[in-house]
Structure 1
Amino acid sequence: MPVHVFVREQQETPTGLVHIITDDQDRLRAVEWDDHGRRMQTLLRRHYGAAGIEFRAATAPSAARIALQAYFAGDIHALAQLPTETNGTAFQRLVWQALCEIPAGETLSYSGLAAKIGRPSATRAVGLANGSNPIPIVVPCHRVIGADGSLTGFGGGMERKRWLLAHEGRGLPVQGELL
């Protein structure tokens, strides 16, 4: 199994410290909050193999770090053209692509997302793919809500989901920095 060498850097955000993982072509591979590092490690192992990951420190800010800084500074469209690369299944990548089509400031239900990808009976599978997203914020899984409009699970925690949606203008009050 080949070893994947990734660049790791960190960025303070209003929602907490995030780890940013990019590859040698400056494509974003993973983003995760510091207090959810195990989740990121689990997803990376699942996608690249347990022994197939090696990290090195960043020597300069990546495009992902610069775009995330702009996003958190108020440019909610700064992440739209960021180069990414994921290693999920074909179904997961289909769901993740559909997530990227949900405009900032808007939300979609899990059933709506399933219908959008042409699989209206796959709501549960869409939820599982959403939860396996290694690039939250950039692949905006926080924009998926319950059928009744309620905020539902988010790997980074419900307060972060609420903050991100409010930051994007979803009509929820932003209460400063989370952490």
Structure 2
Amino acid sequence: MTDTPVRPTAWTLRETPIGPLLLAATAEGLANVVFHARGRTLDRALARLSARLGAGPLPAAQAPAPAAEHLGATAAALDDYFAGSPAPFTVPLDWSLTEGFPARVLRELATGVPYGTTVGYQDLAVRAGDPGAARAVGAAMGANPLPVVVPCHRVLESSGAIGGFGGGLETKRALLALEGVLPQPLF
């Protein structure tokens, strides 16, 4: 059994138009975004972070400066995003919660699928270097530790259907509508 290296983590909750998001960062960058971060969902997410990063996450106000600064930059970038800015997220990312093929897929998604565009699972598999891995791309999307910032909501089925989404289909629709991919809801 190997010990988990300790990576001090800061966290904060950010209210957004799609509900509260848990943001967690290390000195390296943003490490985790969790949808619907209330009650048991929040408690479970903080426990998972503690287990995976080797230290209990600290509220941003008590956290070391680099991690807290990454949270502040992420919060500002999210505010801009939800205000309709198409600017890409430029906050540093800590990729320590993903590895292997999923990490390759998520890095390609983060850099190669801009605001207001979509990509299919198969095309993303090709871009990540494994044309036969469309289903594995789906699994990588489901395990994305950085949703919204690493835009798994932009990945669609080959038929054009929106497919599944860890934050719920209404959340995915809202994000795609914000980016102009889908029409805004009527009410």
TM over 0.5: yes
- Residue type at the aligned position of 1:32: V
Task: State the Cα distance separating 1:40 from its structure 2 match.
Answer: 4.0
Task: State the Cα distance separating 1:119 from its structure 2 match.
Answer: 1.0
The equivalent residue for 1:110 is 121
The answer to whether the 8 A contact 1:162-1:172 is kept is no
Query: Root-mean-square deviation (CA), in Å?
Result: 2.2
Unmatched 5+ stretches in structure 2: 62-67
Secondary structure of residue in 2 paired with 1:8: strand
Q: TM-score, normalised by structure 2?
A: 0.82
**Given the alignment, which residue of 3, 12, 16 partners 1:13?**
16
Q: Which has the larger share of strand?
A: 1
The equivalent residue for 2:158 is 147
**Given the alignment, which residue of 99, 108, 111 partners 1:98?**
108
Unmatched 5+ stretches in structure 1: none
Task: State the Cα distance separating 1:94 from its structure 2 match.
Answer: 0.6
- Residue type at the aligned position of 1:130: M
**Given the alignment, which residue of 53, 56, 66 partners 1:54?**
56
| Separation (CA, whole Å) in 1 of partners of 2:44 and 2:117 | 26
The answer to whether the 8 A contact 1:23-1:29 is kept is yes
- Residue type at the aligned position of 1:114: A
Q: Which has the larger share of helix?
A: 2
| Separation (CA, whole Å) in 2 of partners of 1:32 and 1:122 | 26
**Given the alignment, which residue of 172, 177, 182 partners 1:171?**
182
The answer to whether the 8 A contact 2:50-2:57 is kept is no
Secondary structure of residue in 2 paired with 1:54: coil
The answer to whether the 8 A contact 2:173-2:182 is kept is no
The answer to whether the 8 A contact 1:18-1:32 is kept is yes
Q: Which has the higher contact order (CA 8 A, sep 6+)?
A: 1
Task: State the Cα distance separating 1:4 from its structure 2 match.
Answer: 2.3
Q: TM-score, normalised by structure 1?
A: 0.85
The answer to whether the 8 A contact 1:30-1:40 is kept is no
The equivalent residue for 2:92 is 83
Identity %: 37
| Separation (CA, whole Å) in 1 of partners of 2:186 and 2:6 | 42
| Separation (CA, whole Å) in 1 of partners of 2:144 and 2:20 | 18
| Separation (CA, whole Å) in 2 of partners of 1:10 and 1:109 | 31
